[in-house]
Amino acid sequence: MKSSVKKILAIEILVLLVIISNFFVPYLFDKYRYLVFFLGIGVLIYFLTGIDIDKTPNEKPIFKKTLFYIMLYFILIYLLGLFIGYAKTIYSWSFTNLVKNIIPAITIIIVCEVLRYQFIRKSNNNKIVIILSYLIFVTLDVVLAFNTYDLSIKDDLYEFIGLIIMGSLIKNVLMTIYDIKSDFYNSIAYRILTEIYVFIIPIIPDLGPYVNSVLLIVLPTVLSVVVFSYKNKEQDKPKNKRKRNIIFTIVVFILLLLVGLNSGFFKYQSLVIGSNSMKNYLSKGDVVILKKLDSKERKKLKEGDVIVFKYEKKLIAHRINKIVKRDERDFYITKGDNNERVDEGAIDGKNVLGIVKIKIKSIGLPSIWLNELFS
């Protein structure tokens, strides 16, 4: 191993240990102290091995591809927001706060990406150095967010895993590929475009933690494949390429269907049955696809239909036992097939979410197990 590579490896181990120590001593470092620390590391690298900031010929073409996919991403999510709705950001628009929010964030991004680039460039393609560099920045993302979530609460834990851990794992793959294929200008551009917009744009599509988690995985994965494939010497044979495209299309279709049904944004939604109150027809762990009903469609409901309705803070899937009309409004008396008595109280029509159309046996059991694990 070259001496410069050994020096970089030693510096990486030092950086990783400092970041990991933050798990044991919370609030030891905040993002501003990390900024100072990384600047110090940058100075150390400069004196030990010098700093590389050369541009590469791949930079512009890869930047164009990056810009294209990010713009496509924003167009898609803002179009989706027309159907789902938008949320306001919490950041103030005063000039002082714009400066106070954006300048530190951009500075940290630039310092981190230049540092990452130094690690990758000076690694001499040593895999351990590259992997350590990756681990440093994943651990940094996790440690900075660690204390803002209450991991004893299931929803916070899911958000932390989906938005922070999984998002960081794939984002840092992309940043590493940028540094291998081109230079740090592209990784800086990606991060600024995808992280700074929350400070500037007043409304953001309210996609919820599930869809946001999915998007945080999809965008950098797609870009990773695109950037990695750039000027890759390996070429598919036409027959293999066609076969791969077919498989790819099928997989994408299935994933889109999965996300669309689970998101609850569209006319059809999937639900996992969480109890055996409808046993023999629906068992715990079955998945149902329900069709959402508007007020006109609700009038076609009849006794015997299995509906999903909101009751207090729960979603219940039970069978209509009787329909009661009162003052030109419909109320539904419901009963679980496996229950002895009808449900207490009558369900107002506006609390009916939809009617069960399709049931799939046992496919939702992993969700049940996960829910019981954290209950």
Partner 1 sequence: MGEKTKNILMALLIVGIVSMTIAYAALTQRLNINSNAKVLSKNTTWNIHFTNLSAPTKTGYAQVKTGEELVLDSSSTTLSGLTATLSAPGDSVSYTFDVINEGTINAKINTSGVHLANVSSATCTGSPVPSEADCTLVKNNLTYTLTYANGTALADGDKLAAGATKSLKLTITYNASATNVPTNDVTITGLDSYIDYIQDEASGS
Nearest CB to partner 1, comparing residues 296 and 314: 314
Joined together, the tokens standing for residue 336 give 């679980």
Among the residue ranges 38-46, 50-58, 67-75, 98-106, the one whose residues contact partner 1 (CB under 8 A) = 98-106
Considering only 8, 129, 132, 272, the residue that binds partner 1 (CB under 8 A) is 272
**Of 52-60, 61-69, 162-170, 293-301, which part binds partner 1 (CB under 8 A)?**
162-170
Q: Interface with partner 1 includes 305 (CB under 8 A)? A: no
CA triple 93-98-99, angle to 5 deg? 155
Of how many residues is the chain composed? Answer: 375
Would you count residue 262 as binding partner 1 (CB under 8 A)?
yes
Which residue, 45 or 109, has its beta carbon nearer to partner 1? 109
Q: What is the distance between the alpha carbons of residues 337 and 238, in angstroms, rounded to a whole number?
A: 56
Contact window for partner 1 (CB under 8 A) among 67-75, 111-119, 226-234, 296-304: 226-234
Q: Which of 58, 89, 107, 321 is the binder for partner 1 (CB under 8 A)?
A: 89
Interface with partner 1 in residues 62-81 (CB under 8 A): none
Based on the shown chain and the rule CB under 8 A, indicate whether residue 321 belongs to the binding site for partner 1: no
- If one asks whether residue 166 binds partner 1 (CB under 8 A), the answer comes out as yes
Q: Does 264 bind partner 1 (CB under 8 A)?
A: yes
The pattern of x and - marking residues 32 through 51 that bind partner 1 according to CB under 8 A reads --------------------
Q: Is 100 in the site for partner 1 (CB under 8 A)?
A: yes
Name the minimum Å distance from CB 112 to partner 1. 11
Contact 120, 186 (CB under 8 A): no
Of 225, 250, 358, 360, the one binding partner 1 by CB under 8 A: 225
Cβ atoms < 10 Å from Cβ of 372: 9
Contact status: 251 vs partner 1 (CB under 8 A)? yes
Q: Give the angle subtended at the CA of 216 by the CAs of 101 and 149, to the nearest 5°.
A: 60
Choose the binding region for partner 1 from 9-17, 42-50, 59-67, 82-90 (rule: CB under 8 A): 82-90
SS (H, E, C) the chain: CCHHHHHHHHHHHHHHHHHHHHHHCCCCCCHHHHHHHHHHHHHHHHHHHCCCCCCCCCHHHHHHHHHHHHHHHHHHHHHHHHHHCEEECCCCCCHHHHHHHHHHHHHHHHHHHHHHHHHHHCCCCCHHHHHHHHHHHHHHHHHHHHCCCCCCCHHHHHHHHHHHHHHHHHHHHHHHHHHHHCCHHHHHHHHHHHHCHHHHCCEEECCHHHHHHHHHHHHHHHHHHHHHHCCCCCCCCHHHHHHHHHHHHHHHHHHHHHHHHHHCCCCEEEEECCCCCCCCCCCCCCEEEEEECCHHHHCCCCCCCEEEEEECCEEEEEEEEEEEEECCEEEEEEECCCCCCCCCCCEEHHHEEEEEEEEECCCCHHHHHHHHHHC
351-370 residues in contact with partner 1 (CB under 8 A) are 351, 364, 366-368, 370
Site string for partner 1, 141-160 (x = CB under 8 A): x--xx--x-x--x-xx-xx-
The CB-of-46 to partner 1 minimum distance in angstroms stands at 27
Q: Which of 92, 245, 249, 362 binds partner 1 (CB under 8 A)?
A: 92
281 touching partner 1, by CB under 8 A = no
331 sits near partner 1 (criterion: CB under 8 A): yes
Contact positions with partner 1 (CB under 8 A) in 177-216: 195, 198, 204, 206, 209-210, 212-214
Residue among 69, 86, 265, 268 that touches partner 1 (CB under 8 A): 86
Q: How far is the CB of 269 from partner 1 (least distance, A)?
A: 7
